[in-house]
Amino acid sequence: MCKAYSPKLIEMCKKVASDLGVDVKEGIYAFAQGPMYETPAEIRALGILRADAVGMSTVPEVIAARHANMNVLGISCITNMAAGILDQPLTHEEVMKTAKEAENKFTLLVKKVISVWEV
């Protein structure tokens, strides 16, 4: 699991994103069992571990894919700030609104990545 995500696929995705004008960031994605919003204390703990984002999916799927010797690329849409970061409560409506706003660019990026992916 030292290189769970393929460096070759990451570079290809970054180039595709740049060509499309889609802003992407790299970071450390932490997994938390859901469905739930993490508490401010959990977010502080994950910050100590240098996590940049946290979510309820991706990691178990990546572990299974790597176990099957698959090349993996992870693309996530970050839909909300974590608990305790902003002075406002977390809401499911915020998550849905942000996901809807990102939908077109996210879909365009994923479709283009798939179309240029060399198996």
28's tokens: 């450390």
Contact 35, 47 (CB under 8 A): no
Residue among 11, 26, 38, 61 flagged as catalytic: 38
Question: 38 catalytic, yes or no?
Answer: yes
In eight-state DSSP terms, residue 3 is T
Name residue 99's amino acid.
A
In eight-state DSSP terms, residue 27 is -
- Which positions are catalytic? 38
